[in-house]
Amino acid sequence: MMSRDEMRSGMDAEHASESKDVRIVCERALAHANDQLTRQVSWLRGLDLYWEIESARFEQDEHYYKVVVLCYPKNAEVESKARWEYHIDPDGELYPGTPLCESKGGWSENMNVGDENTEHQVPEAIRVAFSSEEKVEAANLLKESASEHADNDEVDLAIADYTKAIETLPGDVEAYHERGLLYKNIGKYDLAIADYTKAIELGPSDPVAYNRRGIIYSIRGEYDLAINDFTKAIELNPDAAVAYNNRGFAYRNKGEYDLAIADFSKVIELRPEAAMPYNSRGLAHDAKGETDLAIADYTKALELDPEDAVAYNNRGFAYDDMRKYDLAIADFTKAIHLDSKDPVAYRNRGLAHRHKGAYDLAIADYTRAIDLDPESPKAYKNRAIAYSVKGKYDFAIVDYTKSIELEPGSASAYNSRGLAYSAIGDYDSSIADFNTAIELEPKDAKFYCNRARSYQSKGLGKKAEEDFRYVLELDPNHDEARTWLSRMKETQQDKGSEKKEEKGKKEKKHRFW
């Protein structure tokens, strides 16, 4: 067996900078072989095996270590040893699909049975397994074909080839990984989860499979399941920065900002030269209302990566929240300069222009955003708001209508269009829109308030009163509803007094006659 010094010297001299942790990589391979292979590979169970490192080298082009581990039974006549090839990245993570059985072993084991010394041949299962190079080669060819199809966006053909590879070699973890990735990309999340679950079953110590399955759970909004998977990936590889980052986003999406910040801080500790974790932590600070800390993180991200358009966008939003509109506009402009085809940057700059009161500039930015992404309901909605402020209600109604067409479940869009109809005196249309908004979100007090105003404008005081009374049920401290009902009561009392006075006059007149 190779000594630790031999492990080091076995590395190419030209890759000396990578060889500093070859001992750790070799130990990782040996530990996996001893602990996992003997449990996962049925035909190795029950055998007393030797495991040795044959070679270890850093593959510069592929950026991973290739470690070849030999195995054969103790007390055996060894004709050839079984070779298992591991591909391990510099962080100690096994690449999906490894180890690979590169060559079969041929051995016979001497066993004592009573007083007789009988030669025991290796079981048939071992012979078949070690002679399956043809199956491995066939599966590899299918995976190569699948990869080419995927590169050409022929997803169905790629999935078909990965499926054939799995049928050919049911234990091919890489095929499950790659097919799962394709399923994820086309939105077939149940199938993707099934593939990564199978990959975990075949390789329970593989953190990559847990991480990838966690990503899909996050996409589906199943954040607790995602966090469980990311946590397992971290347990298997405590230095897996990507798992901390992904778990941080899951925590942020759950509203658990302190836990998110802790995870992003860990990523920064592991990858201090990376801009992304600063940007991610900034988002968590932003969501928590810690705008100054968010801006500090975005600024650090930009120091590390001055070409990060996302960080400029995020810092611009933070400045906008602080009403520092000129700084916000400058950041959004920089983001546009870095990526002139990004509609989000134009939408964001339009928002800052609108907040600053520069409505024509805002409309111009929203129009550009729509040109780049005609299917964005946000751009139409925001442009409609700018048109409304300028008193161009007909234009606003057209944009709100397009926004509703793209996002028919948006109660706020119906409410906003209802306000625009009210502004031009079309109260029937405004009431219809407020009705729809209420159907979509029946507990939003402002929708009832807006409908009450339209009822009042149409002279339907009783209906307006009903809406304002319900507003107070939803929000007992609602000022407008309380004020309106108070005035209504005073008006009714005044009318009552007038009627009483008029009746008294008639009675006096009657008595006079």
The model's pLDDT over 89-116, given as tens digits with 9 standing for 90+, comes to 877 787 765 676 655 455 444 333 233 3
d(CA 322, CA 327): 10
Quick count: other Cβ atoms within 10 Å of Cβ 145?
Answer: 17
> Predicted confidence band at 125 (pLDDT cuts at 50, 70, 90)?
very low
Contacts of 165 (CB under 8 A, 6+ apart): 139, 140, 142, 143, 146, 172, 175
Please name the fold of domain 307-408: 1.25.40
Distance CA 459, CA 340 (A): 51
Maximum separation of any 2 CA atoms in the chain, in Å: 144
Q: How far apart are CA 44 and CA 109, in angstroms?
A: 13
Domain ranges of the chain: 4-111+119-131, 307-408
pLDDT at 510 over 80: no
- Find the length of the chain: 513
Residue 20 has pLDDT above 70, yes or no: no
Cβ atoms of 279 and 294 within 8 Å: the answer is no
C-alpha 180/C-alpha 192 separation (Å) is: 4
Q: How many CB atoms lie within 10 A of CB 435?
A: 14
99 upstream amide cis, omega within 30 of 0: yes
Any bridge partners for residue 121, and if so which?
108
Looking at residue 344, its pLDDT comes to: 95
Per the DSSP assignment, residues forming a β-bridge with 65 are: 58, 88
Lowest mean pLDDT among 2-16, 232-246, 499-513: 2-16
Q: Rounded to an integer, what distance in angstroms lies between the CA atom of residue 315 and that of residue 321? A: 10
pLDDT of residue 45: 57
CB 243 within 8 A of CB 234: yes
Locate 459 and state its tokens.
């002279």
Q: Which of 380-384, 475-479, 488-492, 494-498 has the highest mean pLDDT?
A: 380-384
Judged on CB neighbours under 10 Å (0-12, 13-18, 19+), 115 is exposed
What does the pLDDT read at residue 464?
Answer: 93
As a whole number, the mean pLDDT across the chain is 84
Based on the number of CB atoms within 10 Å of its own CB, is 16 exposed (0-12), middle (13-18) or buried (19 or more)?
A: exposed
| Percentage with pLDDT > 70 across the chain | 80
Task: State the number of CA atoms in the 13 A half-sphere of 79 facing the CB.
Answer: 9
**Nearest partner of 182 among 225, 146, 218, 234, judged by Cα:** 146
What does the alpha-carbon distance between residue 177 and residue 188 come to, in Å, rounded to a whole number? Answer: 14
The residue among 131 and 227 whose pLDDT is bigger is 227
Structure confidence at residue 9 (pLDDT): 33
